[in-house]
Amino acid sequence: MNRAIHKRKPGWVFFSRFKSDIRTVPKREESEHYEKIKTVIRGEKKAKFKNIFLGVSLINVTTFLFTLSNYYAKADENYYDVNDIGVVDHVVLTDFVSSMGVNNLPVYLKNRFFHKLVKSVQDENYSFKENALLGLLELFYKNKSAFTKIEKENKEEHAEFIKYIFAKLEEDANLEYTKKKIYSSILFYYIKHSDNNLSMSYEHIQEIVNNPNLFYNLQQREEIISYLLLKIVKNEKNIAEIYAKEKEFIETYTSEAESTYHPELKNNEDYYKQECLTLLQSYFEKINSPFCIDNNDVCVKMKNSYNSIMNKIYLKYLENTVIYTFFFSFVLHNINAKEYTLMNYLFSAKDIFRSVYSNCLINAMLLAQKSITQNLSMRADEQSCIIAAFLFNQLNSLAFSASLYKCKYALVPLLFSQIVKDNFFL
């Protein structure tokens, strides 16, 4: 009754069988894998713009709602009699946030914010905080409508603040960079927006012309000073004060100008200086002064196509946008390149060109938008301003999304150009 004992198969048999089963799996050709990968990549690329636009729109709409809520929250006329200036105020009033949302300047002109701001600047001991507050004041002076309203409704604070700036300039011959930039910008717009009614003391005029802290980092420094001096001497009271206080000033200024006052240079870079000399000469003749400016019988005429100082500042800003975009894009392409081949460099060149074009277009659009929305918010009704702000918000979303979708490294130089925009008084 012997039972049959089955002999167990060794382990290598099972392994060989498993291995043979694996070998029986049909092989796919490499081209099939490539086609599938290609299909997946194309599918992602089609969905990418939607995802970018959705994300950018969400951020922009959130910014719009944030500025709108602040617009109504600070509407009380006596709000800053009982409240302090906070971080929200610094964020909401920045140019970039104002461009993305509702311009809050009209509200801040009604709720005694300017009064609080001037007082806080004068009482502040910490330089960093003082610079931040000065940056807010600069925004009011840049906007002509806001400046006009300040001159009418905040005369005392406005006069006090201008005296404060000149006192600081007289105290220190070498101010820190931020203060130099902000003081220069405020005084530039203060004189520019005052039209021909500006009355300025002789001491302040001397500071504008001779103080090394003002406009020190700008290529058009001499032209800017001549432009501002021309605005000043359009008011005869200012010329009379200069003439009465110190004749050396006139002698120095006219002798410096004579070297550049030649026929081949007329109506070019020195237009403002020449026009200023003409006004001075007409005043000398009016009061029978012994001073006479020898202009070699050159008659200064305004060219129809004369490039004003503001146009030059705009062009310089766009020129620097091109430089920043090219530099950042080129560096980032080289850092992230897997191999340095001719095809890669051709792709990089194409992407850099698109980035430059895109960033210049967006920055020009933001400058135009800023001008439109700020003027509209100061003059038009509230509802129209909010609708216009929302439409611009969506236009910005579309422009930013298209730039991010089409250009690989356009975002970094675009943000950088917004940060350094204050260097150009814009």
Q: Taking 60 as the threshold, does the pLDDT of residue 229 lie above it?
A: yes
User: Terminal CA-to-CA distance of the chain, rounded, Å?
Assistant: 109
Give me the percent of the chain exceeding a pLDDT of 90: 6
Q: Taking 80 as the threshold, does the pLDDT of residue 97 lie above it?
A: yes
Answer with the one of 301, 329, 359 that is the final residue of a domain: 301
Answer with the one of 268, 301, 334 that is the final residue of a domain: 301
pLDDT band of 304, cuts 50, 70, 90: very low
Average of pLDDT values for 376-391?
Answer: 80
Spatial separation of the C-alpha atoms in residues 115 and 109, rounded to whole Å: 9
User: DSSP per residue over 252-274, as a string?
Assistant: HHHHHHHTT--GGGTTTTTHHHH
The mean-pLDDT minimum among 156-160, 248-252, 313-317 falls in 248-252
Average of pLDDT values for 31-37?
Answer: 53
Verify that 349 and 262 share a domain, yes or no.
no
- Give ∠ CA 341-343-345 in degrees, rounded to 5: 70
DSSP state of 297: T
Give me the percent of the chain exceeding a pLDDT of 70: 72
Q: Taking 90 as the threshold, does the pLDDT of residue 127 lie above it?
A: no
Average of pLDDT values for 344-363?
Answer: 84
Digit-coded pLDDT (tens) for 48-81: 788 888 988 999 999 999 999 999 998 888 888 8
pLDDT at 328: 82
Verify that 374 and 420 share a domain, yes or no.
yes
pLDDT at 42: 47
> What's the token pair of residue 272?
């403002």
338 is a domain residue: yes
Spatial separation of the C-alpha atoms in residues 294 and 273, rounded to whole Å: 14
Q: What is the overall mean pLDDT for the chain?
A: 76
246 is a domain residue: yes
Q: Is the dihedral of CA 19, 25, 26, 30 positive or negative?
A: negative
Rg (CA), the chain: 32
Spatial separation of the C-alpha atoms in residues 33 and 36, rounded to whole Å: 5
Measured N-to-C along each axis, helices 221-233 and 309-336 cross at an angle, to the nearest 10 degrees, of 150
Q: Is the dihedral of CA 407, 409, 412, 416 positive or negative?
A: negative
Q: Minimal CA–CA distance to 258: which of 229, 211, 292, 225? A: 292
Higher pLDDT, 225 or 16: 225
The mean-pLDDT minimum among 177-191, 253-267, 312-326 falls in 253-267
Q: Minimal CA–CA distance to 425: which of 221, 208, 168, 149? A: 221
Verify that 284 and 249 share a domain, yes or no.
yes
pLDDT at 263: 44
DSSP state of 94: S
pLDDT at 314: 78
> At 205, which amino acid appears?
I
pTM over 0.85? The answer is no
> At 38, which amino acid appears?
K
pLDDT at 122: 86
Verify that 279 and 323 share a domain, yes or no.
no
Q: Minimal CA–CA distance to 174: which of 213, 117, 222? A: 213
317 is a domain residue: yes
Q: Taking 60 as the threshold, does the pLDDT of residue 215 lie above it?
A: yes
Higher pLDDT, 249 or 43: 249
Average of pLDDT values for 247-267?
Answer: 52
Verify that 245 and 328 share a domain, yes or no.
no
Average of pLDDT values for 390-418?
Answer: 85
Verify that 358 and 263 share a domain, yes or no.
no
Spatial separation of the C-alpha atoms in residues 348 and 87, rounded to whole Å: 40
Verify that 419 and 316 share a domain, yes or no.
yes
pLDDT at 303: 42
Q: Minimal CA–CA distance to 408: which of 355, 345, 349? A: 355
Tracing tokens 């060219």 back to the chain, one arrives at 303
Average of pLDDT values for 298-327?
Answer: 68
The domain tally of the chain equals: 2
The mean-pLDDT minimum among 1-10, 213-222, 349-358 falls in 1-10
pLDDT at 1: 44
| 272-297 exposure pattern, b = at least 16 Cβ within 10 A, e = fewer | bbbbbbbbbbebbeeeeeeeebebee
**Domain limits at 236?**
221-301
pLDDT at 198: 81
pLDDT at 20: 52
Q: Is 50 exposed, middle or buried (0-12, 13-18, 19+ CB in 10 A)?
A: exposed
Q: Are 119 and 161 in contact (CB under 8 A)?
A: no
Verify that 335 and 285 share a domain, yes or no.
no
Q: Taking 90 as the threshold, does the pLDDT of residue 145 lie above it?
A: no
pLDDT at 84: 87
Answer with the one of 280, 301, 322 that is the final residue of a domain: 301
211 is a domain residue: no
Q: Taking 70 as the threshold, does the pLDDT of residue 28 lie above it?
A: no
Verify that 400 and 325 share a domain, yes or no.
yes
Give whole-number Cα distances, 166 to 159, 204, 205, 331, in Å. 11, 7, 10, 43
pLDDT band of 270, cuts 50, 70, 90: low
Residue 398's CB is within 10 A of a number of other CB atoms, namely: 13
Verify that 317 and 420 share a domain, yes or no.
yes
Spatial separation of the C-alpha atoms in residues 91 and 88, rounded to whole Å: 5
